Amino acid sequence: MGYLIASNLEQALASMRDSKGKARVVAGATDLYLQKLPDKLIDITAIPETTKIEQIDGNLTIGSTVTHTAAAGSPLVRSKATALAEACSLIGSPQLRNIGTVGGNVINAAPAADAAVALVALGANAALINTAGEYREEKVEDLYKDYNLSLIDTSSEIMLRLIIETCVGGEGSAFVRFASRKALSLPLVNAAARVRIVEGRLKDILLVVAPVRPAPTRLLHTEEMLRGMSASEETWRSAETAAAAEVDVRNSLLRCSVQYRRHLVGVLAGRALKKAAERAVGREEGDYR
């Protein structure tokens, strides 16, 4: 059979084993026709393990085949992983968001995929299972081999879900992007941040921008510089300067010049941090909304 809609995980894995590397996993399939078609497709969107959004203890888990529309509209994602809800609401167009999936956004490995950028800023891990039944969890940013090339082998491995430590009291996250149009437009640059504020000062910071390298890129120096600084306009201005200086970007005919991109990295990093910090302050400690 050429196209199998697997109804459960075991059926999908067994079918992959039988196909000996000639089948590929597919979810939303929005990028399928941009690539060479495989002999067989195994659709995992009906496998229950990949479809749920759940709060389990201190983690928010998002099934890999949850659509961007579902993630953007989910009260759980909106309150506990706000950056991801924002990113998903801005991807492509309604038609693409209705069928494209959060897991696919990572596996397709586009360097500035909006959901993937938000996931890295949220510190998300991906849960994977292979045809030998081995389960593993990897940081999302460690799943990239090269531009548009994932380390996940979709002929032998299935992404089950994404796992995010939920934002709690004193924490907030945000995603921002800049593109030439409001819809159906590649971001020239996008950025996302997650911060924890304790007594008015930045404590934990994750700051991510793209496209800089094949994977969404954390700005470790800027994060380090910001630690302990007050959540103020002055801090966001210095974050802009530090972020712009930290990235090694290049001219791109597809996106923009190196100078413009460096400028955008700074501005968007500052905006993402500011927005995340405002949300962190708005959320009282111990507030698990």
Partner 1 sequence: MKNQLINFHLNGEPVEVYADPADNLLQLLREQLGLFGTKAGCGKGECGACTVILDNQAVNSCLVPAGKVQGRRIETIEILSRGNKIHPIQEAFVEKGAIQCGFCTPGMIMSAYALLKENPQPTSEEIKVAISGNLCRCSGYIQIEEAILCAAEKIKDRIKDSGDKR
Q: What does the alpha-carbon distance between residue 272 and residue 78 come to, in Å, rounded to a whole number?
A: 16
Residue 73 or 169: the one with the smaller Cβ distance to partner 1 is: 73
| Residues of the shown chain interacting with partner 1 in the complex, contacts defined by CB under 8 A | 1-5, 26, 29-30, 32-34, 37, 39-41, 43, 45, 69, 92-96, 98-99, 182-184
Residue 45 or 190: the one with the smaller Cβ distance to partner 1 is: 45
The minimum distance between CB 183 and partner 1, in angstroms, equals 4
Q: Which helix (H) or strand (E) holds 76?
A: helix 75-80
Residue 149 or 184: the one with the smaller Cβ distance to partner 1 is: 184
Residue 9 or 32: the one with the smaller Cβ distance to partner 1 is: 32
Residue 33 or 135: the one with the smaller Cβ distance to partner 1 is: 33
The minimum distance between CB 195 and partner 1, in angstroms, equals 28
C-alpha 223 chain-centroid distance: 19
Residue 51 or 222: the one with the smaller Cβ distance to partner 1 is: 51
Q: What is the CA radius of gyration of the chain?
A: 19
The minimum distance between CB 18 and partner 1, in angstroms, equals 16
Residue 96 or 229: the one with the smaller Cβ distance to partner 1 is: 96
The minimum distance between CB 120 and partner 1, in angstroms, equals 25
**Residue 29 falls in which region: left (phi positive, over 0), alpha (psi -120 to 50) or beta:** left
The minimum distance between CB 91 and partner 1, in angstroms, equals 11
Asked whether the beta carbons of 239 and 222 are under 8 A apart, the reply is yes
The minimum distance between CB 185 and partner 1, in angstroms, equals 10
Beta carbons within 8 Å of 10's beta carbon, 6+ residues apart: none
The minimum distance between CB 197 and partner 1, in angstroms, equals 32
Q: Write a three-state SS string for 50-69.
A: HCCEEEECCEEEEECCCEHH
Strand partners, 179: 187
Q: Which residues of 2-33 are buried (b: 16+ CB within 10 A; e: fewer)?
A: eebebeebebbbebbeebeeebbbbbbebeee
- Residue 177 corresponds to which amino acid? R
Q: What does the alpha-carbon distance between residue 146 and residue 234 come to, in Å, rounded to a whole number?
A: 36
What are the tokens at 78? Answer: 């909106």
